[in-house]
Amino acid sequence: MTKVNIMKNMPEKVIIPLKQHDGSICEPLVKKGDMVCEGQKIGECGSYDSASVHSSVSGEVVSIEEAPHPSGNKVNSVVIQPSEDAECVDFKPKDVPVSELANLIKDAGIVEHYGTPTHMVLKPEGKNIDTVLVNATSSEWIGGHYDTPSQYSSQVLDALKLLMKAAGASRGAIVLRNDDLESISAFDGLNFDGKNITVAPLVGKRKVKYYFKDMASDIVVVSQDHIYGRKILDLFTYNVTGRKVSFGCDPTDVGVAICSVKSAKALYDAVNAGKPYIETVVSVSGKVKDPQKILVRIGTPFKDVIEACGGYIGEAGKLIANGAITGVAQYTDDVPVSKTTTSIFVQSVDEVVRGESVACIHCARCVDVCPVNLVPSRLTALADQGRFDECRQMHIMNCVECGRCAAVCPSKIHVLQLIRYAKSSIEKAYEDFAPKQSSTNLKLGCCGGE
Amino acid sequence: MTFTISAPPHKKESITFNKLTLAKIIALMPVVLLSVYLFGLPALGIVIAGILAAVVTEVAIQKAFDQKITIADGSAVLIGLMIAMVVPPEVPLWIPMIGSVFAIGIGKHAFGGIGSYVFNPVLAAWVFLSLAWGSIMAPASYPQTTALSDLVLETGAGVMAGVSPLALLLAGCILILLRYVEWRIPVSFFVTTILLAVLLGDSLSYVILGVVLFGVLFLATDTSTSPVTKNGRVIYGIVCGVLVVVYGHFANYVDATFYGLFLANCVSALIDNNTLPGSYGSETYLQRKYKRILSKVPFKDRLEVLLDD
């Protein structure tokens, strides 16, 4: 059972970005010189596509300024200097009616690790969610310390029930990874609500629907192979439920809400402890003295997190937020941990990838590794020439941006970059079209179909 | 502290194009050594002549057209070496030299350089040489694998590539295991060749030759001239096998390998364009047919209950 350490030292200052999700930025509720409490709301969400921001420490607001953000941009942030003497009230569990759960999620500032605020996933406007999936394939054991594995698994199941209630969905599933034996053994044989849980593998045509029927249960635990990438949701939905998400739609269009273990845990804490989303588990790895999983307050600069892990080994060459394959390289270690930060990876100077692109030799290695059956070599050539329409005909929008094609390329071509360039160009071209009028499209078969 | 920033992925495999070609050159070395043992020093002279001419031509062309000199990637050396291996060892030295000049100049650079050529330069040069100097290019003998020792050292080999089937097979298999060479083309090519040859009644002793294995493992798998799609590569291997057997049945399997592969190169782009994979999760042809048949079955409501999972 992987241990999650708690970061003990208080950072010198915390930087809390007012935008830690995809959508509109929050309005600051505090001003320079104000004293704030731990858990106090400091950013109010004005519009629907936004989630509140809370202070993770007690202290004094030093400034409100544009500060670096792990996404690579600068974002208006509240800088707080923690102080010892600030008095704070303990969090109290709230008794929330089911109808208020979605508002609670928005208010507690819970955001998925891929950036969408959780209330938008669970209660999308004009769409019905019938299945809630908790994706536990990448972030196992995240979210705290448990005495026994079964404590973890029953807590996740409780959280899943809350998520289902919030979404009004009748069915829910937890998706584990096939090779993550720890989690599988934690769930296997667990007695939950008088039913024995068995972890079922997703094989061939046996999607989650089959297991709902087979086990005569509304909550199942399934496992699948490890898939990763930045735009994994559509493929994940297809793998688990067999529902195909078409271009321009997202999983909520086919009635599936995908949450992470982190947001499930955050909701559990918000309901049972009354605590907003102010701390998160980050796994620190690479060239640091003491790689570990560590529970940090949101807004802690990377610098302090790395110090808590023993500091850098030698000179650091690259600092990457969210994984070595798909993450964003940071230009400074002053960036704060945000709600969407799941890991920090440090590379030494020698490990930094350098390589000059040469001509494609059509070795087809990229074709062999692609998880969604694309022909990256050809897409790259087309994207390079600006032939985006042909890219689209070759299903470029299916790309999950896992970056395997670029990793295996012997010619060191920037495959992923070119594909993302083509994808963003196509998306921009479609933005000019009027948005869909209503959800009647769902019935007509724009999205959906099983 | 300064940090490098760049787009993901931040970790890449260490494989490079240089390594791929270098591995192929090393894999061919045992055969070259064995042929020097068998044919004597003239074979070594031919290898050196072929490689030198190839490298010099590449430098000259890239200088003339003001391109970056790319001899360090080893592709010119590999082409020169392969040309030396497909000409008979007793030819005058200018034959492999002209072959290399043709392969690099016309076969490779006239088509746009590495990755762009349509025909494998080695095959193009071989076809050119055999048509221009047919009498010189005719090998002294055509081999036949009659004993097990012929697999290790084929004394009747007409060209250097045919000297040792076993050495080629081992080297090729190691390359495939290391994923330096992909496996679909060699496997489907080889299986098709054997099956068809048996069906047509050709004695396998004329089929399992060093030259055929050289074609299967080193010529057919040339990345630029073979399809990239997964299904396309299997089909390409089958096409190669069919063409080689058609030639081999009526002539001999040594020339058949070269001509067959040369013709298969022509259809590789066609195969590629017609086997582009569909979107994941889309129904295959058989699934569509199955659904159509199912929709016409009476009492289908009851059937669907049984089949709906």
- How does pLDDT run across B190-224, given as a tens digit for each residue? 999 999 999 998 888 888 889 999 999 999 999 99
pLDDT at A188 over 90: no
- How does pLDDT run across A48-78, given as a tens digit for each residue? 888 888 888 888 898 998 999 888 888 889 9
Please give the Cα distance from A392 to A287 (Å, whole number).
Answer: 40
Using the beta-carbon criterion (under 8 Å), do B278 and A395 form an inter-chain contact?
Answer: yes
The predicted structure's pLDDT at residue B63: 94
The predicted structure's pLDDT at residue A443: 42
Please give the Cα distance from A413 to A409 (Å, whole number).
Answer: 6
Start-to-end C-alpha separation, chain A: 38
Q: What is the pLDDT averaged over residues A222-249?
A: 84
- How does pLDDT run across B99-121, given as a tens digit for each residue? 999 999 999 999 998 889 999 99
| Interchain CB contact of B306 with A (< 8 Å) | no
Please give the Cα distance from A266 to A263 (Å, whole number).
Answer: 5
Q: What is the pLDDT averaged over residues A266-287?
A: 86
Token pair of A231, please?
């735009």
Identify the burial level of B47 via C-beta atoms within 10 angstroms of its C-beta, where 0-12 means exposed, 13-18 middle and 19 or more buried.
Answer: buried
CB contact burial B172-205 (16+ within 10 A = b; e otherwise): beebbeeebbbbbbbebbbebbbebbeeeebeee
Indicate the range of A44-53, A349-358, B10-19, B283-292 predicted with least confidence: B283-292
- How does pLDDT run across B243-269, given as a tens digit for each residue? 999 999 998 899 999 999 999 999 999
ipTM for the complex shown: 0.87
Q: What is the pLDDT averaged over residues A81-103?
A: 75
The predicted structure's pLDDT at residue A448: 42
Vertex A361 angle, CA B162 and B98, to 5°: 50
pLDDT at A436 over 60: no
pLDDT at A145 over 80: no
Say what the pTM is. 0.86
What residues 121-150 of chain B have any CB closer than 8 A to a CB of chain A? Answer: none
Q: Domain locations in chain A? A: 10-91+275-347, 98-272, 365-431
Sheet holding A199-201, edge to edge: A199-201, A219-224, A171-177, A131-135, A256-260
Residue A44's DSSP bridge partners are A27
Percent of chain A with pLDDT over 90: 14
Q: Which residue, A207, A231, A211, A229, is CA-closest to A219? A: A211
Whats the size of chain B, residue-wise?
A: 309
CATH of domain A98-272: 3.40.50
pLDDT at B61 over 60: yes
Identify the burial level of A307 via C-beta atoms within 10 angstroms of its C-beta, where 0-12 means exposed, 13-18 middle and 19 or more buried.
Answer: middle
Which span out of A192-201, A206-215, A287-296, A369-378 was modeled with the highest average pLDDT?
Answer: A369-378
Using the beta-carbon criterion (under 8 Å), do A205 and B229 form an inter-chain contact?
Answer: no
Map tokens 């994923």 to a residue. B179
A88 annotated to bind ligand: no
A391 annotated to bind ligand: no
A409 annotated to bind ligand: yes
Please give the Cα distance from B173 to B194 (Å, whole number).
Answer: 18
pLDDT at A86 over 70: no
Average pLDDT, chain B: 89
Please give the Cα distance from B77 to B26 (Å, whole number).
Answer: 11
Q: Which positions in chain B touch A405 (Cβ < 8 Å)?
A: none
Please give the Cα distance from A409 to A370 (Å, whole number).
Answer: 12
What is the band of B299 on the pLDDT scale with cuts at 50, 70, 90? Answer: low
- How does pLDDT run across B157-167, given as a tens digit for each residue? 888 988 899 99
The predicted structure's pLDDT at residue A433: 65
Contact between A136 and A156 under an 8 Å Cβ cutoff? The reply is yes
What is the band of A439 on the pLDDT scale with cuts at 50, 70, 90? Answer: very low
The predicted structure's pLDDT at residue B120: 95
Q: What is the pLDDT averaged over residues A145-152?
A: 74
- How does pLDDT run across B272-295, given as a tens digit for each residue? 999 988 888 777 777 778 877 877
**What CA–CA distances, in Å, run from B187 to A103, A384, B169, B192?**
60, 34, 12, 8
Identify the burial level of A347 via C-beta atoms within 10 angstroms of its C-beta, where 0-12 means exposed, 13-18 middle and 19 or more buried.
Answer: buried
Please give the Cα distance from A59 to A14 (Å, whole number).
Answer: 10
How does DSSP classify residue B282? P
Q: Which residue, A89, A35, A39, is CA-closest to A59? A: A35
Using the beta-carbon criterion (under 8 Å), do B3 and A409 form an inter-chain contact?
Answer: no
| Mutate: best of B184, B280, B291, B308, partner A, most A CBs <10 A | B280
Q: Which residue, B54, B50, B46, is CA-closest to B109? A: B54
Q: Which positions in chain B touch A412 (Cβ < 8 Å)?
A: 12, 16
pLDDT at A440 over 60: no
Q: Which positions in chain A touch B70 (Cβ < 8 Å)?
A: 358
Q: What is the pLDDT averaged over residues A217-222?
A: 86
Token pair of A311, please?
């500091």
Vertex A63 angle, CA A57 and A68, to 5°: 85
Residue A257's DSSP bridge partners are A132
Query: Residue B267, SS3?
Result: helix
pLDDT at A183 over 60: yes
Counted across chains A and B, CB pairs separated by less than 8 A come out at 147
Q: Three-state SS string across B182-247, please?
A: CCHHHHHHHHHHHHHHHHHCCCHHHCCCHHHHHHHHHHCCCHHHCCCCHHHHHHHHHHHHHHHHHH
Please give the Cα distance from A21 to A52 (Å, whole number).
Answer: 10
| Interchain CB contact of B13 with A (< 8 Å) | yes
A399 annotated to bind ligand: yes
The predicted structure's pLDDT at residue A253: 86
pLDDT at A204 over 80: no
What residues 287-326 of chain A have any CB closer than 8 A to a CB of chain B? Answer: 315-320, 324-326
The predicted structure's pLDDT at residue A449: 40
Map tokens 């074609």 to a residue. B215
pLDDT at A151 over 90: no
What is the DSSP annotation of B53-66? HHHHHHHHHHHHTT
- Cα nearest neighbour of B221 on chain A: A363
| Mutate: best of A367, A391, A397, A424, partner B, most B CBs <10 A | A367
Please give the Cα distance from A200 to A241 (Å, whole number).
Answer: 14
Map tokens 């909550």 to a residue. A219
A259 annotated to bind ligand: no
Q: Which positions in chain A touch B116 (Cβ < 8 Å)?
A: 359
The predicted structure's pLDDT at residue A447: 47
Q: Nearest by CB to B229, from A209, A358, A367: name it.
A: A367
Indicate the range of A314-318, A363-367, A385-389, B219-223 predicted with least confidence: A314-318
| Interchain CB contact of B224 with A (< 8 Å) | yes
Residue A220's DSSP bridge partners are A173
| Amino acid found at B239 | V
The predicted structure's pLDDT at residue A235: 87
Using the beta-carbon criterion (under 8 Å), do B233 and A333 form an inter-chain contact?
Answer: no
| Interchain CB contact of B69 with A (< 8 Å) | no
Indicate the range of A23-32, B16-25, B61-70 predicted with least confidence: A23-32
Instruction: Assign a CATH topology to domain A10-91+275-347.
Output: Ubiquitin-like (UB roll) (3.10.20)
The predicted structure's pLDDT at residue B305: 54
Using the beta-carbon criterion (under 8 Å), do B309 and A209 form an inter-chain contact?
Answer: yes
Contact between A94 and A134 under an 8 Å Cβ cutoff? The reply is no
Please give the Cα distance from A124 to A147 (Å, whole number).
Answer: 36
The predicted structure's pLDDT at residue B145: 81
Q: What is the pLDDT averaged over residues A319-339?
A: 87
